[in-house]
A and B are shown apart, each in its own frame.
Chain A
Amino acid sequence: MADRVYRAAPPETLRIEALGELTVLFDRRSMQTHLMTQPMPEILAVMAGDPCNAATVAERLAARFDLGGGGDPTPLIAERLAELAAMGLVAEA
């Protein structure tokens, strides 16, 4: 998968609430509710307002969380970014 660059939806458009193991997110633009589990909310959080590719996100996640030290997480994060794009929560920058 090409390492595309995305930008997260502006924080003021999203309302994010953690409900135990699940995070629920209300998108004020689409009026849609999204349900997500980790690492989706964490990805949105580390992207902040910056254009990010999967490698940048992986780097920022590794700085904040223990990613377990397994292989390179970048391909998995690229997939998650594509899923977030399909939900309209990140867009190609």
Chain B
Amino acid sequence: MRHSTRIAVGPVQFRIGSDWRAPVAALGRLYAGYPRDTARPADATVRLFAARPWRRWLRPSVEIGGDFTVPDALPLPLSMGLLAAEMGMNLQVALGWRRHLLLHASAVARDGRAVIMSGESGSGKSTLAALLGEDGWRLMGDEFTLIDPAGGDALAFPRAVSLKNAAIAEVAARVDAARLGPLLAGTPKGDIRHLIPRADAIAAMHEPARPVLLLFPRFGGEAGIEPMGEGEAFVRLTEASTNYVALGEAGFAALTRLVRETPAFGISYPDSTTGLALVEQLFAEAVR
């Protein structure tokens, strides 16, 4: 394709090609600090292309392609090319990755021990992970966490954090503006702004961490902690995994082990400060 780049996020090497320069340039800025190994073969390919040649210039419209595609996905305007790239990268990992059990969950680590947070969009898992990542924790990822089927460790996927709506101002108040991408206003997911993870989190992206806590956050309502049984955690995580079925028995074994060895809790919190305090409290109890 006319413009292309390679980006390594955790164990995944992406090859991204685009009909336009802008999305690749925007990715280049967000991922400038990530390690590069252009000799390594790509694990996943993302293509951003114009459905018709003239749509490169005339009301340019970005189609998302790659090894795996979703039928009937709507194209995005070129102004949202960065979002299209992010969606393409997520899609390739969600549908194509087979080496690890992939959980739709954020994760942070301290002293080699990981807290995994799984929840629907709006649960605050991404915001909590971003804020913890600015507060003494290593950000492992805001969207996906990989579980090694052999040893049970969590592996990081620290892509640029996708901050949405109210989380943008909350995080922007705490970080250097140079770590924020452009504001993408009015996307199908609301306002989006990317946060570049801290340099130490990027440098540590290949270091596995031992899961010690599984959290299922829910934003809103009174502060609360509810212990969750192994069975319920298993069911929720099968639903949160995009490749559980594809992994077959390896996925089954990895997930039963994870929920057996890792205490799980549902937490609800009315604001981020309370949410962070609950994570700190449960982590302290888990590692005691």
Residues of A within 8 A of B (CB): 15, 17, 19-22, 24, 26, 28, 31, 33, 35
Contact = CB atoms under 8 A, between A and B. Distances in A.
A24 B229 CA distance: 13
Interface string B240-265: 00001100110011001001100000
A19 B238 CA distance: 14
Given A22-B231, A28-B249, 9 more contacts: A15-B249, A19-B229, A19-B231, A19-B234, A22-B230, A24-B256, A26-B249, A31-B245, A35-B231
B229 A15 contact: no
B249 A20 contact: no
Contacts of A15: 249, 252-253
Nearest to A31: B248
Contacts of B70: none
B235 interface: yes
Contacts of A26: 249, 252
A33 B231 contact: no
Contacts of B244: 33
A20 B256 CA distance: 11
What is the size category of the interface that chain B forms with chain A? 10 to 19
B242 to A, nearest CB: 15
A26 B238 CA distance: 13
A20 B238 contact: no
A18 to B, nearest CB: 9
Nearest to A28: B249
B229 A22 contact: yes
Given A33-B238, A35-B235, A19 B259 contact: yes
B234 A24 contact: yes
Given A15-B252, A26-B252, A20 B235 contact: no
A79 B266 CA distance: 35
B260 A24 contact: no
A47 to B, nearest CB: 22
Contact of A20 (B229, B252, B253): B229
Contacts of A28: 249
Contact of A33 (B230, B252, B259, B260): B252
Nearest to B257: A17
B231 A17 contact: no
Closest 8 CB pairs of A and B: A22-B231, A19-B230, A20-B229, A26-B252, A19-B231, A20-B230, A17-B256, A20-B231
A32 to B, nearest CB: 9
B249 A24 contact: no
Contacts of A17: 256
B252 A22 contact: no
Contacts of B245: 31
Contacts of B238: 33
B234 A22 contact: yes
A24 B248 contact: no
Contacts of B230: 19-20, 22
A21 B252 contact: no
28 contacts: A15-B249, A15-B253, A17-B256, A19-B234, A19-B256, A19-B259, A19-B260, A20-B229, A20-B230, A21-B229, A21-B231, A22-B229, A22-B230, A22-B232, A22-B234, A22-B235, A24-B234, A24-B252, A24-B256, A26-B249, A31-B245, A31-B248, A31-B249, A33-B238, A33-B244, A33-B252, A35-B231, A35-B235
A71 to B, nearest CB: 29
B256 to A, nearest CB: 5
Residue from B230, B248, B252, B253 whose CB has the most chain A CB atoms within 10 Å:
B252
